[in-house]
């Protein structure tokens, strides 16, 4: 009889150890995804700040050819300031939409001035801007994929129990100018 009790005790201890190991593995995965998402958000923020620093040079180049478009440049300055000052993900996404719309208006304005298109400084700035846009796109794609993985883990059983126990919250996707999260 004692052998049976000892055997059952061993099985129960083994079961408890497996449950504890499972909780540790899921918790570590949740933390790793959360920390990766936060790091990627920082990377997106860096690329966006570099873009905000580059774009005024582009605007000054365009302004030299189209000085009478003052309201557009003022609108652009306001959009850039709002985007740079946004504190939350949602505020940043909304400010980015406005900033990108204004940037498109400036690019359209550049199309109206053929001499601007051949300006070496303008071409160089456009190329740098395209590179930065590409970096933002790649970083936001990776960020959104990581956030989707984290959010899926938070919402599925049994990891949702562990996430709620340790107060690990869902993250928001970074939305582009189209209003949809990057695919």
Residue from 63, 16, 2, 40 nearest 136 by CA: 40
pLDDT digits (tens, 9 = 90+) for 9-49: 888 889 999 999 999 999 999 999 999 999 999 999 899 88
Q: Is the confidence at residue 180, as pLDDT, over 50?
A: no
More confident site: 88 or 144: 144
pLDDT digits (tens, 9 = 90+) for 60-69: 787 777 766 6
Instruction: Report the pLDDT value the prediction gives residue 70, as an integer from 0 to 100.
Output: 66
pLDDT digits (tens, 9 = 90+) for 112-152: 777 777 778 888 888 898 899 899 999 999 999 999 999 99
Is the full-model pTM beyond 0.75?
A: yes
C-beta of residue 116 within 8 angstroms of C-beta of residue 60 = no
Q: Which residue has the tokens 């395209």?
A: 130
Q: Three-class SS of residue 86? A: coil
Cα(147)–Cα(89) distance, rounded to whole angstroms?
12
More confident site: 160 or 83: 160
More confident site: 112 or 164: 164
Cα(21)–Cα(23) distance, rounded to whole angstroms?
5
């Amino acid at each position: 009889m004692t052998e049976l009790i000892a055997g059952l005790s061993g099985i129960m201890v083994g079961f408890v150890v497996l449950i504890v190991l499972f909780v540790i593995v899921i918790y570590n995965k949740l933390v790793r995804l959360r920390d990766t998402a936060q790091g990627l958000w920082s990377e997106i923020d860096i690329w966006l700040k570099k873009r905000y620093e580059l774009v005024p040079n582009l605007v000054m180049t365009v302004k030299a050819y189209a000085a009478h478009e003052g309201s557009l440049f003022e609108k652009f300055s306001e959009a850039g300031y709002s985007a740079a000052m946004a504190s939350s993900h949602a505020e940043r996404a909304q400010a980015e939409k406005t900033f990108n719309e204004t940037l498109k208006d400036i690019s359209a304005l550049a199309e109206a001035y053929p001499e601007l298109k051949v300006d070496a400084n303008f071409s160089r700035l456009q190329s740098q801007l395209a590179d930065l846009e590409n970096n933002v796109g790649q970083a936001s794609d990776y960020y959104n994929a990581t956030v989707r993985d984290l959010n899926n883990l938070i919402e599925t059983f049994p990891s949702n129990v562990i996430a709620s126990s340790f107060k690990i919250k869902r993250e928001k996707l970074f939305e582009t100018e189209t209003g949809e999260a990057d695919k």
